[in-house]
Structure 1
Amino acid sequence: MSMICFRITLLTLCLGFLTLVAWAQDTTRTAPVADTTRPQPTESADALLSGLTDSTAAPLLPDHMLFTQRAVWGKKGLVRLFGGHELTLERREKELKIRRSMLKLHQVMGFVTLAGFVAQGILGAKLYNATGEDYTRLREWHEGTATAINIAYGTTALLSLTAPPPAVGQRRGLSTIKLHKYLAIVHMAGMIATNILARKIQEDYTLKPYHRAAAYTTFGAFATAIIVLKF
Protein backbone atom coordinates (compact mmCIF):
# COMPACT_ATOMS: atom_id res chain seq x y z
CA MET A 1 0.00 0.00 0.00
CA SER A 2 2.80 2.33 0.84
CA MET A 3 4.43 1.57 -2.52
CA ILE A 4 1.24 2.57 -4.37
CA CYS A 5 1.02 5.85 -2.45
CA PHE A 6 4.67 6.54 -3.23
CA ARG A 7 4.06 5.97 -6.94
CA ILE A 8 0.98 8.20 -6.96
CA THR A 9 2.89 10.94 -5.14
CA LEU A 10 5.82 10.70 -7.59
CA LEU A 11 3.44 10.85 -10.58
CA THR A 12 1.69 13.88 -9.11
CA LEU A 13 5.03 15.68 -8.63
CA CYS A 14 6.08 14.91 -12.24
CA LEU A 15 2.79 16.26 -13.63
CA GLY A 16 3.12 19.37 -11.49
CA PHE A 17 6.69 19.93 -12.68
CA LEU A 18 5.67 19.58 -16.36
CA THR A 19 2.76 21.98 -15.82
CA LEU A 20 5.12 24.52 -14.21
CA VAL A 21 7.56 24.31 -17.14
CA ALA A 22 4.77 24.80 -19.68
CA TRP A 23 3.46 27.82 -17.80
CA ALA A 24 6.93 29.36 -17.62
CA GLN A 25 7.36 28.99 -21.36
CA ASP A 26 4.06 30.76 -22.00
CA THR A 27 5.00 33.69 -19.74
CA THR A 28 8.35 34.28 -21.54
CA ARG A 29 6.66 34.89 -24.85
CA THR A 30 6.61 38.57 -25.92
CA ALA A 31 4.07 40.39 -27.96
CA PRO A 32 5.05 41.08 -31.57
CA VAL A 33 6.95 44.38 -31.98
CA ALA A 34 5.42 46.90 -34.32
CA ASP A 35 7.47 47.75 -37.43
CA THR A 36 8.47 51.37 -36.83
CA THR A 37 10.37 51.59 -40.12
CA ARG A 38 7.17 51.66 -42.11
CA PRO A 39 5.52 55.05 -42.74
CA GLN A 40 2.70 55.71 -40.33
CA PRO A 41 -0.78 56.27 -41.71
CA THR A 42 -0.73 59.82 -40.33
CA GLU A 43 2.28 60.72 -42.54
CA SER A 44 0.82 62.54 -45.52
CA ALA A 45 2.31 63.23 -48.93
CA ASP A 46 2.33 66.96 -48.16
CA ALA A 47 4.58 66.36 -45.16
CA LEU A 48 7.03 64.36 -47.28
CA LEU A 49 7.10 67.06 -49.95
CA SER A 50 7.66 69.68 -47.26
CA GLY A 51 10.69 67.77 -45.99
CA LEU A 52 12.15 67.58 -49.47
CA THR A 53 11.62 71.29 -49.97
CA ASP A 54 13.35 72.11 -46.70
CA SER A 55 16.40 69.98 -47.59
CA THR A 56 16.86 71.64 -50.96
CA ALA A 57 16.63 75.08 -49.35
CA ALA A 58 19.85 74.56 -47.40
CA PRO A 59 22.30 77.49 -47.69
CA LEU A 60 24.95 77.14 -50.37
CA LEU A 61 27.43 79.52 -48.75
CA PRO A 62 28.71 79.49 -45.16
CA ASP A 63 27.71 82.34 -42.87
CA HIS A 64 31.31 83.15 -41.95
CA MET A 65 33.73 83.91 -44.78
CA LEU A 66 36.87 85.96 -45.20
CA PHE A 67 36.12 89.41 -46.54
CA THR A 68 38.18 88.58 -49.63
CA GLN A 69 36.13 85.43 -50.23
CA ARG A 70 32.90 87.35 -49.76
CA ALA A 71 34.07 90.05 -52.18
CA VAL A 72 34.87 87.49 -54.88
CA TRP A 73 32.52 84.53 -54.26
CA GLY A 74 29.72 85.96 -52.09
CA LYS A 75 26.10 86.34 -53.15
CA LYS A 76 27.01 89.77 -54.55
CA GLY A 77 30.65 88.98 -55.24
CA LEU A 78 32.60 89.79 -58.37
CA VAL A 79 32.01 86.40 -59.98
CA ARG A 80 28.25 86.81 -59.50
CA LEU A 81 28.02 90.40 -60.74
CA PHE A 82 30.56 90.39 -63.56
CA GLY A 83 31.30 86.72 -64.16
CA GLY A 84 27.72 85.70 -64.78
CA HIS A 85 27.99 82.73 -62.39
CA GLU A 86 24.71 82.38 -60.53
CA LEU A 87 24.71 80.82 -57.08
CA THR A 88 23.38 77.32 -57.74
CA LEU A 89 24.11 73.87 -56.37
CA GLU A 90 25.88 72.84 -59.58
CA ARG A 91 27.95 76.02 -59.56
CA ARG A 92 28.97 75.49 -55.93
CA GLU A 93 30.18 71.99 -56.75
CA LYS A 94 32.43 73.45 -59.44
CA GLU A 95 33.64 76.14 -57.06
CA LEU A 96 34.62 73.54 -54.46
CA LYS A 97 36.75 71.82 -57.11
CA ILE A 98 38.38 75.18 -57.87
CA ARG A 99 38.96 75.63 -54.15
CA ARG A 100 40.68 72.24 -53.92
CA SER A 101 43.01 73.08 -56.81
CA MET A 102 43.86 76.52 -55.43
CA LEU A 103 44.64 75.15 -51.97
CA LYS A 104 46.90 72.47 -53.43
CA LEU A 105 48.81 75.18 -55.30
CA HIS A 106 48.80 77.17 -52.06
CA GLN A 107 50.63 74.31 -50.35
CA VAL A 108 53.19 74.03 -53.17
CA MET A 109 53.91 77.75 -53.07
CA GLY A 110 54.16 77.51 -49.29
CA PHE A 111 57.06 75.07 -49.58
CA VAL A 112 58.71 77.29 -52.20
CA THR A 113 58.40 80.26 -49.84
CA LEU A 114 59.75 78.20 -46.94
CA ALA A 115 62.83 77.29 -48.99
CA GLY A 116 63.32 80.99 -49.70
CA PHE A 117 63.11 81.75 -45.98
CA VAL A 118 65.85 79.20 -45.27
CA ALA A 119 68.12 80.68 -47.96
CA GLN A 120 67.41 84.18 -46.70
CA GLY A 121 68.24 83.16 -43.16
CA ILE A 122 71.63 81.85 -44.25
CA LEU A 123 72.37 85.02 -46.21
CA GLY A 124 71.17 87.21 -43.38
CA ALA A 125 73.39 85.46 -40.85
CA LYS A 126 76.44 86.03 -43.07
CA LEU A 127 75.42 89.60 -43.85
CA TYR A 128 74.98 90.48 -40.17
CA ASN A 129 78.72 90.62 -39.50
CA ALA A 130 80.03 91.14 -43.07
CA THR A 131 82.12 94.13 -44.07
CA GLY A 132 83.54 95.69 -47.21
CA GLU A 133 82.98 93.95 -50.53
CA ASP A 134 81.50 90.90 -48.86
CA TYR A 135 78.84 93.08 -47.31
CA THR A 136 77.98 94.69 -50.66
CA ARG A 137 77.81 91.35 -52.45
CA LEU A 138 75.76 89.63 -49.73
CA ARG A 139 73.46 92.60 -49.47
CA GLU A 140 72.63 92.36 -53.18
CA TRP A 141 71.88 88.66 -52.83
CA HIS A 142 69.86 89.35 -49.69
CA GLU A 143 67.75 92.01 -51.37
CA GLY A 144 67.18 89.87 -54.48
CA THR A 145 66.12 86.91 -52.36
CA ALA A 146 63.84 89.18 -50.33
CA THR A 147 62.08 90.28 -53.52
CA ALA A 148 61.58 86.67 -54.62
CA ILE A 149 60.25 85.73 -51.16
CA ASN A 150 57.80 88.63 -51.16
CA ILE A 151 56.44 87.55 -54.55
CA ALA A 152 56.17 83.88 -53.48
CA TYR A 153 54.64 84.81 -50.13
CA GLY A 154 52.12 87.16 -51.71
CA THR A 155 51.11 84.51 -54.25
CA THR A 156 50.73 81.93 -51.49
CA ALA A 157 48.54 84.28 -49.45
CA LEU A 158 46.34 85.27 -52.41
CA LEU A 159 45.68 81.64 -53.31
CA SER A 160 44.29 81.11 -49.83
CA LEU A 161 42.50 84.44 -49.37
CA THR A 162 40.72 84.37 -52.74
CA ALA A 163 39.86 80.66 -52.88
CA PRO A 164 36.11 79.87 -52.94
CA PRO A 165 34.61 79.45 -49.46
CA PRO A 166 34.36 75.92 -48.01
CA ALA A 167 31.25 73.79 -47.93
CA VAL A 168 28.51 74.57 -45.42
CA GLY A 169 28.61 72.63 -42.17
CA GLN A 170 32.33 72.57 -41.46
CA ARG A 171 33.52 71.12 -38.16
CA ARG A 172 33.53 73.56 -35.26
CA GLY A 173 36.11 73.89 -32.54
CA LEU A 174 39.89 74.00 -32.71
CA SER A 175 41.36 72.11 -35.66
CA THR A 176 44.58 72.04 -37.65
CA ILE A 177 42.98 74.30 -40.26
CA LYS A 178 42.08 76.93 -37.67
CA LEU A 179 45.52 76.67 -36.07
CA HIS A 180 47.00 77.15 -39.54
CA LYS A 181 44.93 80.33 -39.92
CA TYR A 182 45.95 81.70 -36.53
CA LEU A 183 49.61 81.14 -37.36
CA ALA A 184 49.02 82.88 -40.70
CA ILE A 185 48.06 86.03 -38.80
CA VAL A 186 51.33 85.84 -36.89
CA HIS A 187 53.63 85.27 -39.87
CA MET A 188 51.81 87.86 -41.98
CA ALA A 189 52.34 90.47 -39.28
CA GLY A 190 55.96 89.36 -39.00
CA MET A 191 56.40 89.59 -42.75
CA ILE A 192 55.16 93.18 -42.78
CA ALA A 193 57.38 94.11 -39.82
CA THR A 194 60.41 92.46 -41.42
CA ASN A 195 60.02 94.45 -44.64
CA ILE A 196 59.48 97.73 -42.83
CA LEU A 197 62.51 97.23 -40.60
CA ALA A 198 64.63 96.21 -43.60
CA ARG A 199 64.11 99.67 -45.09
CA LYS A 200 64.60 101.45 -41.79
CA ILE A 201 67.97 99.74 -41.24
CA GLN A 202 69.52 101.90 -43.97
CA GLU A 203 68.79 104.91 -41.78
CA ASP A 204 69.35 103.33 -38.37
CA TYR A 205 71.64 100.29 -38.08
CA THR A 206 70.61 99.78 -34.44
CA LEU A 207 67.40 98.21 -35.79
CA LYS A 208 69.27 95.13 -37.02
CA PRO A 209 68.43 92.99 -33.95
CA TYR A 210 64.73 93.83 -34.29
CA HIS A 211 64.79 93.04 -38.00
CA ARG A 212 66.40 89.68 -37.29
CA ALA A 213 63.93 88.91 -34.49
CA ALA A 214 60.98 89.71 -36.78
CA ALA A 215 62.46 87.53 -39.54
CA TYR A 216 62.97 84.58 -37.19
CA THR A 217 59.46 84.96 -35.81
CA THR A 218 58.04 85.01 -39.32
CA PHE A 219 60.00 81.92 -40.30
CA GLY A 220 58.98 80.04 -37.13
CA ALA A 221 55.28 80.81 -37.53
CA PHE A 222 55.34 80.04 -41.25
CA ALA A 223 57.15 76.71 -40.79
CA THR A 224 54.80 75.70 -37.97
CA ALA A 225 51.77 76.58 -40.11
CA ILE A 226 52.99 74.12 -42.75
CA ILE A 227 53.88 71.42 -40.20
CA VAL A 228 50.45 71.41 -38.53
CA LEU A 229 48.81 70.67 -41.89
CA LYS A 230 51.20 67.90 -42.89
CA PHE A 231 51.50 66.15 -39.53
Structure 2
Amino acid sequence: MAKLFVLLLFLGLQVQAQDTSYVRQPSATPTASSDNQLLASSADSLLLPQKMLFTQRIFWGPNGLLRAMQLAPLTLEGRQKELKVRQFMLITHKVTGYATLAGFLVQGILDLKLNKATGSNYDQLLSAQQMALTITNIAYGTTALLSLSAPPKRMADQKARSGVKLHKYLSIIHLTGFLATNILASQVSQHSELRPYRQVAGFTTLAAFAPALIALKF
Protein backbone atom coordinates (compact mmCIF):
# COMPACT_ATOMS: atom_id res chain seq x y z
CA MET A 1 0.00 0.00 0.00
CA ALA A 2 2.86 2.37 0.73
CA LYS A 3 4.29 1.86 -2.75
CA LEU A 4 0.88 2.45 -4.30
CA PHE A 5 0.42 5.65 -2.31
CA VAL A 6 3.77 7.01 -3.51
CA LEU A 7 3.02 6.14 -7.10
CA LEU A 8 -0.40 7.75 -6.95
CA LEU A 9 1.21 10.82 -5.43
CA PHE A 10 3.46 11.05 -8.46
CA LEU A 11 0.40 11.07 -10.69
CA GLY A 12 -1.18 13.92 -8.77
CA LEU A 13 2.02 15.93 -8.76
CA GLN A 14 2.44 15.56 -12.51
CA VAL A 15 -0.34 18.10 -13.16
CA GLN A 16 0.82 21.69 -13.29
CA ALA A 17 -0.64 24.11 -10.75
CA GLN A 18 -1.47 27.73 -11.36
CA ASP A 19 0.13 30.47 -9.26
CA THR A 20 -2.10 30.89 -6.22
CA SER A 21 0.13 33.21 -4.27
CA TYR A 22 -1.79 36.02 -2.65
CA VAL A 23 -0.46 39.52 -3.22
CA ARG A 24 -1.78 42.21 -0.94
CA GLN A 25 -3.41 45.09 -2.78
CA PRO A 26 -2.46 48.64 -1.81
CA SER A 27 -4.93 50.31 0.52
CA ALA A 28 -6.29 53.79 0.16
CA THR A 29 -3.73 55.04 2.70
CA PRO A 30 -0.63 52.93 2.12
CA THR A 31 1.72 52.42 5.02
CA ALA A 32 5.46 51.81 5.03
CA SER A 33 4.86 48.17 5.93
CA SER A 34 2.45 47.57 3.05
CA ASP A 35 4.80 49.36 0.63
CA ASN A 36 7.67 47.06 1.64
CA GLN A 37 5.49 43.98 1.18
CA LEU A 38 4.41 45.15 -2.27
CA LEU A 39 7.99 45.81 -3.31
CA ALA A 40 9.09 42.38 -2.06
CA SER A 41 6.19 40.68 -3.85
CA SER A 42 6.98 42.57 -7.07
CA ALA A 43 10.64 41.55 -6.87
CA ASP A 44 9.69 37.89 -6.32
CA SER A 45 7.41 37.92 -9.36
CA LEU A 46 10.30 39.12 -11.54
CA LEU A 47 12.58 36.29 -10.39
CA LEU A 48 10.09 33.41 -10.59
CA PRO A 49 7.70 32.32 -13.38
CA GLN A 50 3.98 32.69 -12.77
CA LYS A 51 3.34 28.98 -13.38
CA MET A 52 5.16 26.32 -11.41
CA LEU A 53 4.58 22.70 -10.54
CA PHE A 54 3.02 22.16 -7.13
CA THR A 55 6.20 20.40 -6.01
CA GLN A 56 8.35 23.27 -7.24
CA ARG A 57 6.24 25.74 -5.30
CA ILE A 58 6.66 23.68 -2.12
CA PHE A 59 10.45 23.89 -2.32
CA TRP A 60 11.24 26.87 -4.55
CA GLY A 61 8.19 29.15 -4.33
CA PRO A 62 8.40 32.63 -2.73
CA ASN A 63 7.44 31.05 0.60
CA GLY A 64 8.82 27.58 -0.10
CA LEU A 65 10.67 25.39 2.36
CA LEU A 66 14.10 26.24 0.99
CA ARG A 67 13.30 29.97 1.19
CA ALA A 68 11.98 29.72 4.74
CA MET A 69 15.05 27.78 5.85
CA GLN A 70 17.33 30.36 4.21
CA LEU A 71 18.97 27.62 2.16
CA ALA A 72 18.02 29.26 -1.14
CA PRO A 73 17.45 33.02 -0.74
CA LEU A 74 15.30 34.45 -3.52
CA THR A 75 17.84 36.82 -5.08
CA LEU A 76 19.12 37.38 -8.60
CA GLU A 77 22.41 35.68 -7.76
CA GLY A 78 20.56 32.87 -6.03
CA ARG A 79 18.32 32.30 -9.05
CA GLN A 80 21.35 32.07 -11.33
CA LYS A 81 22.71 29.28 -9.12
CA GLU A 82 19.31 27.59 -9.09
CA LEU A 83 19.20 27.54 -12.89
CA LYS A 84 22.54 25.69 -12.91
CA VAL A 85 21.09 23.19 -10.42
CA ARG A 86 18.02 22.87 -12.65
CA GLN A 87 20.15 22.15 -15.71
CA PHE A 88 22.09 19.44 -13.86
CA MET A 89 18.91 17.85 -12.50
CA LEU A 90 17.23 17.78 -15.91
CA ILE A 91 20.31 16.26 -17.56
CA THR A 92 20.34 13.59 -14.85
CA HIS A 93 16.59 13.19 -15.44
CA LYS A 94 17.33 12.22 -19.05
CA VAL A 95 20.10 9.78 -18.04
CA THR A 96 17.93 7.98 -15.48
CA GLY A 97 15.12 8.07 -18.04
CA TYR A 98 17.18 6.03 -20.49
CA ALA A 99 18.09 3.64 -17.67
CA THR A 100 14.37 3.27 -16.94
CA LEU A 101 13.67 2.63 -20.61
CA ALA A 102 16.25 -0.16 -20.60
CA GLY A 103 14.51 -1.62 -17.54
CA PHE A 104 11.16 -1.59 -19.32
CA LEU A 105 12.71 -3.40 -22.29
CA VAL A 106 14.26 -6.08 -20.06
CA GLN A 107 10.93 -6.61 -18.31
CA GLY A 108 9.14 -6.95 -21.64
CA ILE A 109 11.63 -9.55 -22.91
CA LEU A 110 11.43 -11.56 -19.70
CA ASP A 111 7.65 -11.37 -19.75
CA LEU A 112 7.53 -12.85 -23.25
CA LYS A 113 9.89 -15.66 -22.23
CA LEU A 114 7.72 -16.43 -19.21
CA ASN A 115 4.82 -17.30 -21.51
CA LYS A 116 6.74 -20.35 -22.78
CA ALA A 117 8.74 -21.23 -19.67
CA THR A 118 7.96 -24.14 -17.36
CA GLY A 119 9.33 -25.66 -14.16
CA SER A 120 12.58 -24.33 -12.73
CA ASN A 121 13.19 -22.19 -15.82
CA TYR A 122 9.93 -20.38 -15.10
CA ASP A 123 10.96 -19.74 -11.50
CA GLN A 124 14.33 -18.33 -12.57
CA LEU A 125 12.77 -16.05 -15.16
CA LEU A 126 10.13 -14.87 -12.70
CA SER A 127 12.81 -14.05 -10.11
CA ALA A 128 14.82 -12.13 -12.73
CA GLN A 129 11.73 -10.23 -13.82
CA GLN A 130 10.89 -9.23 -10.25
CA MET A 131 14.43 -7.96 -9.75
CA ALA A 132 14.20 -5.99 -13.02
CA LEU A 133 10.88 -4.57 -11.85
CA THR A 134 12.40 -3.38 -8.56
CA ILE A 135 15.37 -1.73 -10.27
CA THR A 136 13.11 -0.11 -12.87
CA ASN A 137 10.80 1.22 -10.15
CA ILE A 138 13.75 2.88 -8.41
CA ALA A 139 14.98 4.36 -11.69
CA TYR A 140 11.49 5.56 -12.64
CA GLY A 141 10.91 7.14 -9.23
CA THR A 142 14.29 8.90 -9.37
CA THR A 143 13.52 10.17 -12.87
CA ALA A 144 10.17 11.57 -11.77
CA LEU A 145 11.55 13.22 -8.62
CA LEU A 146 14.35 14.92 -10.55
CA SER A 147 11.79 16.51 -12.85
CA LEU A 148 9.18 17.38 -10.22
CA SER A 149 11.59 18.91 -7.69
CA ALA A 150 13.91 20.82 -10.02
CA PRO A 151 14.05 24.60 -9.55
CA PRO A 152 11.58 26.51 -11.76
CA LYS A 153 12.61 27.73 -15.20
CA ARG A 154 13.57 31.27 -16.14
CA MET A 155 10.91 33.86 -16.83
CA ALA A 156 12.10 34.06 -20.45
CA ASP A 157 11.55 30.30 -20.88
CA GLN A 158 8.00 30.29 -19.52
CA LYS A 159 6.51 29.37 -22.90
CA ALA A 160 7.11 25.63 -23.24
CA ARG A 161 8.45 24.14 -26.46
CA SER A 162 6.20 21.77 -28.40
CA GLY A 163 8.46 18.84 -27.51
CA VAL A 164 8.22 19.61 -23.80
CA LYS A 165 4.42 19.80 -24.03
CA LEU A 166 4.30 16.43 -25.79
CA HIS A 167 6.62 15.03 -23.12
CA LYS A 168 4.17 16.10 -20.40
CA TYR A 169 1.16 14.59 -22.16
CA LEU A 170 2.97 11.30 -22.75
CA SER A 171 4.14 11.26 -19.12
CA ILE A 172 0.50 11.01 -18.02
CA ILE A 173 0.08 7.91 -20.21
CA HIS A 174 3.27 6.14 -19.16
CA LEU A 175 2.72 7.01 -15.50
CA THR A 176 -0.76 5.48 -15.64
CA GLY A 177 0.67 2.40 -17.35
CA PHE A 178 3.44 2.23 -14.77
CA LEU A 179 0.91 2.23 -11.93
CA ALA A 180 -1.21 -0.42 -13.63
CA THR A 181 1.85 -2.61 -14.31
CA ASN A 182 2.91 -2.56 -10.65
CA ILE A 183 -0.58 -3.20 -9.35
CA LEU A 184 -1.14 -6.12 -11.72
CA ALA A 185 2.37 -7.51 -11.04
CA SER A 186 1.50 -7.88 -7.37
CA GLN A 187 -1.58 -9.91 -8.28
CA VAL A 188 -0.27 -12.15 -11.06
CA SER A 189 1.22 -14.78 -8.75
CA GLN A 190 -2.24 -15.48 -7.26
CA HIS A 191 -4.25 -14.72 -10.41
CA SER A 192 -2.46 -15.96 -13.53
CA GLU A 193 -5.37 -14.80 -15.71
CA LEU A 194 -4.17 -11.22 -15.13
CA ARG A 195 -0.86 -11.84 -16.93
CA PRO A 196 -2.11 -10.69 -20.37
CA TYR A 197 -3.39 -7.44 -18.84
CA ARG A 198 -0.06 -6.90 -17.13
CA GLN A 199 1.71 -7.36 -20.45
CA VAL A 200 -0.57 -4.85 -22.15
CA ALA A 201 0.05 -2.33 -19.35
CA GLY A 202 3.81 -2.89 -19.58
CA PHE A 203 4.01 -2.46 -23.34
CA THR A 204 1.72 0.59 -23.18
CA THR A 205 4.09 2.13 -20.65
CA LEU A 206 7.05 1.40 -22.91
CA ALA A 207 5.24 2.74 -25.99
CA ALA A 208 4.59 6.07 -24.24
CA PHE A 209 7.89 6.33 -22.34
CA ALA A 210 10.21 5.98 -25.34
CA PRO A 211 8.70 8.84 -27.41
CA ALA A 212 8.48 10.95 -24.25
CA LEU A 213 12.28 10.82 -24.02
CA ILE A 214 12.68 11.56 -27.72
CA ALA A 215 10.29 14.52 -27.47
CA LEU A 216 12.72 16.34 -25.13
CA LYS A 217 15.08 16.82 -28.06
CA PHE A 218 12.58 19.02 -29.92
Verify same fold: TM over 0.5.
Answer: yes
1:116 to 98, 103, 108: 103
**Are residues 1:185 and 2:172 paired?**
yes
**Are residues 1:154 and 2:102 paired?**
no
* CA distance in 2: counterparts of 1:209 and 1:196, whole angstroms: 13
Cα deviation per residue 1:5-45 (whole Å; 9 max; x = unaligned)? xxxxxxxxxxxxxxxxxxxxxxxxxxxxxxxxxxxxxxxxx
**Letter in structure 1 aligned against 2:62:** K
Question: Which is worse superposed, 76-85 or 209-218?
Answer: 76-85
**Letter in structure 2 aligned against 1:132:** G
Aligned partner of residue 114 in structure 1, secondary structure: helix
Identity of aligned residues (%): 52
Question: What's the offset of the Cα at 1:82?
Answer: 1.8
Question: What's the offset of the Cα at 1:174?
Answer: 6.2
Q: What's 2:82 paired with?
A: 95
**Letter in structure 1 aligned against 2:175:** M
Question: What's the offset of the Cα at 1:92?
Answer: 0.7
Higher relative contact order (CA closer than 8 Å, sequence separation 6+): 2
Q: What's 2:23 paired with?
A: none
Q: Which structure would you say has the larger Rg?
A: 1
Question: What's the offset of the Cα at 1:140?
Answer: 0.4
CA 77–201 in structure 1, closer or farther in 2 if over 3 Å, else same = same
Question: What's the offset of the Cα at 1:151?
Answer: 0.5
* CA distance in 2: counterparts of 1:209 and 1:130, whole angstroms: 15
Contact 2:163–2:217 at 8 Å: present in 1 too?
no
Aligned partner of residue 165 in structure 1, secondary structure: coil
Structure 2 spans left out of the alignment, 5+ residues: 1-38
Runs of 4+ in 1 over 2 A off after TM superposition: 169-174
Q: What's 2:151 paired with?
A: 164
Structure 1 spans left out of the alignment, 5+ residues: 1-52
Question: What's the offset of the Cα at 1:129?
Answer: 2.7
